[in-house]
Structure 1
Amino acid sequence: MLEKQQETKRSAALTALQQQIRQCRLCQEQGYIPVAHPIVSGQITDRILVIGQAPGHRSVAQDRPFSGPGGRILQSWLEAAGFPPGYLHEHTYLSSLTRCDPGRNLRGNGDRKPSPAEMTLCRPYLQAELRILQPKVVLLVGTMAIEAFCGKVKLEQCVGSYIEDKDTFYLPLPHPSGVSRWLNDSEHKKLHQRALSILAHWRELYQL
């Protein structure tokens, strides 16, 4: 009974937090983006938290994180670790360092990386999600998300390993992007497979 009451309390806190995130206009007010459209996705029962860089234009248009090609690739990685189709959007909490689309990169192809100032404005929301959700596993997707928790580090130094902090496991993964060339290297592929094997072990051990 007590456990159920605690989950109900946490669920209410998460709902309030998500409403606060959706109403946030800080980056717009400070001139970092023209129009704020923060998005959230997940529920209190999710035991895996995915942290990416920032939503892209497809995600904002569909009001759902990881709606583009990166989401399909990430789902395929989950399936390689034994999770069922649809698991990414049905059973994981999807978050990111910033909650709005930063816009296109003016110096080339792809999306603009959010600035340190933008990430600082959004960081309290991410910290609150971690505190309320108490996830068993956190997937750090891409270099920016990894460095936000692990410090400045190369992908080959951290992919294939993990960090444990207060009963939560943090698993670094490369960015699931079609333009990323990191996985073209055979040794990098081995590290990536090791990471997915670790995730598969947790799936069985903790019934994720």
Structure 2
Amino acid sequence: MSRSAVFLDEMGVGPLWRLRQGAAPEAAEAALADIVATVEVAAPVTVPAPVPVPVPVAATPPAEAPAPVAAVPAEVAVVADVAEMAPVAVAVVPVPAAAPDDTAWFDDAPAPPPARQLSDADIAALDWEGLTAAVAKCARCDLCKTRKGVVMGRGDRQGDWLMLASSPSRAEEREGRALPGEQGQLLDNMLKAIAVDAGRDVYITHLLKCRPLDDAGQERLPTEAESAACRPYFERELALLQPRTIVTLGSMAAAGITPGEKPVRGKVRQLGNAAVVATFHPEMLLQDETGKAKARAWADLCLAKSTHARG
């Protein structure tokens, strides 16, 4: 066995293909030697892709033996298979880790524009639903910066009686309801005493829809600017409701309903077509241990009832 055949047999390539009879043995032996040398170089392949192997051209056979040389292409195919089966070193490219969500742009983004504030003329054209929505997002004065909530009126929107307080208390702000709890229960009983159904013919609201607070977080009187900013909401409530009788609850409400006019208990005033009667706030009546304020409140309610009956 020749040296080339022994080498290929050790590699496990397989039996040699012999030249057909008549081919030039010297030329085939030389070509096979070149192929084996190529195999020795190509075996430890470490490049990313197989290295192309040059194809040696066999010597021209003699004229008397025109048969083609078949052994060389067969060996070349074997070498190509060996190159394809050889381990290939693949370059490892590190994959960058996924970057975390970057929300820094959100922090630097400009704040959305504030909701457009309605003018006095816009408020004067609102219906009940639009008025409630406008009060909820109002920013016509600085009370919007400290409030915990707004307090819109409640009750019968077609009622003949309007109960009017000045501004919400802490309890009213927390519950979002005018005169809740004991205050509301006492007012219902007062109205029931003069034969007025608080659940069917009465609407309750405030001149201001937000709770005024000082720097220490304590309740205070509203400023003129705050009262003026909120006045269009009350006037729209008044226009939609069109009550016959208004009962102001507390001195602040009595003074605020007609700015510049000093209220007097026991006297009927007019606001448009409505009669206005002043009395005590239910909170004050709850704190009255002598009963004097309650007696005066009863006289005020009787005056309001008789005035309402004449109107």
TM-score by length of 2: 0.50
Contact 1:33 1:102 in 2 (8 A): no
Compared CA separation, residues 124 and 165, structure 1 to 2 (3 A): closer
- SS of residue matched to 1:111: coil
1:164 aligns with 2:270: yes
Q: Does 1:38 align with 2:143?
A: no
With a CA cutoff of 8 Å and minimum separation of 6, indicate the structure with the bigger relative contact order: 1
Structure 2: gaps (5+ residues): 1-125
Aligned to 2:262: 153
- Counterpart residue type for residue 173 of structure 1: T
CA-to-partner distance for each residue in 1:53-93, whole Å, 9 max, x for gaps? Answer: 11122222222111143323322321222234xx1x65422
Aligned position for 1:15: 129
Contact 1:55 1:96 (8 Å CA) reproduced: yes
Aligned to 2:177: 64
Q: How many residues align?
A: 186
* TM-score normalised per structure 1: 0.72
What letter matches 1:13 in structure 2?
D
2:205 to 82, 89, 95: 95
Q: Which runs of 5+ in 1 are unaligned?
A: 1-11
In structure 2, relative to structure 1, the CA distance for the partners of 1:192 and 1:183 (3 Å cut) is farther
Distance 2:262 2:289 in 1: 17
**What is the aligned counterpart of 1:122 among 222, 225, 230?**
230
Q: Does 1:79 align with 2:192?
A: yes
Q: 1:189 to 1:58 in 2, by over 3 A?
A: closer
Partner of 1:3: none
User: Could you say which structure has the higher helix fraction?
Assistant: 1
Q: CA deviation at 1:184?
A: 4.4
Aligned counterparts of 1:64 and 1:118: Cα–Cα separation in 2 = 20
AA partner of residue 238 (structure 2): L
1:8 corresponds in structure 2 to none
**Cα drift, residue 98 of structure 1:** 1.0
Specify the SS of the correspondent of 1:118. Answer: helix
Aligned AA for 2:247? L
Residue equivalent to 2:3: none
CA offsets per residue over residues 91-141 of structure 1, 9 Å max, x none?
A: 42222121112247949xx73322222111111111111122211111111
Q: Which has the larger radius of gyration?
A: 2
Match of residue 304, structure 2, among 173, 195, 199: 199
